[in-house]
A and B are shown apart, each in its own frame.
Chain A
Amino acid sequence: EPEVTQTPSHQVTQMGQEVILRCVPISNHLYFYWYRQILGQKVEFLVSFYNNEISEKSEIFDDQFSVERPDGSNFTLKIRSTKLEDSAMYFCASRARADTGELFFGEGSRLTVL
């Protein structure tokens, strides 16, 4: 069964460092997402990406965040200068079409900022 894969599964970094989280969406999917979940809290939307550009982003997704699809398979989330409050599980998701609800999530990348 096709799946969304994310790396790394866990990253520990110092405050102020840059972090890149990587995702390989399902190959025939067209819509890509990043969500985050702070421990014990709700799943929060960060950004959606379609046709090689950001289609929507939330207030959380400020200038410190960026996304990129550098080639035909990878979808990355970069945090330029991490803060303590960026510590969370970051989920990548993809879906085939906009009118179907099934977001396929990766297993997540846990980011710990010290």
Chain B
Amino acid sequence: RKEVEQDPGPFNVPEGATVAFNCTYSNSASQSFFWYRQDCRKEPKLLMSVYSSGNEDGRFTAQLNRASQYISLLIRDSKLSDSATYLCVVNIYAGNMLTFGGGTRLMVKP
């Protein structure tokens, strides 16, 4: 099983749609979870951290399901500017290393 696994997509959605991505991780003891965003040929940037109780930031909602070892990202009212690759990032093991999933590509169409 891959350490951090994501559906690569692409997810093609119309503007205004709601879209959700999941990400599974291998180590049940993982403690820290994040969603990053990466635009084409650019560096990754933090979108949001994922907290145990779930958290929301505007149109974005992140959830953690420890029992099933996955995190999710929900984007409401998609904008053209949301088109990007969304990277699931997990502190898989104790220590400083953050492990990236392969990313899910989102394309929002007019």
Residues of A that sit less than 8 Å from B by CB: 31, 33, 35, 41-45, 48, 50, 55-56, 58, 89, 91, 98-99, 101-103, 105-108
Contacts and interface: CB of A to CB of B under 8 A. Distances in A.
Nearest to A49: B96
Contacts of B14: none
Given A101-B32, A101-B34, A101-B89, A45 B98 contact: yes
Contacts, number: 52
Nearest to A105: B43
Interface string B12-55: 00000000000000000000101000100111111001000000
Secondary structure call for the A interface: strand
Interface string B66-110: 000000000000000000000101010001111111110000000
B98 A101 contact: yes
19 contacts: A31-B96, A33-B96, A41-B102, A42-B100, A42-B102, A43-B38, A43-B44, A55-B95, A58-B97, A89-B41, A99-B32, A101-B34, A101-B98, A102-B34, A102-B46, A102-B49, A103-B44, A103-B46, A103-B98
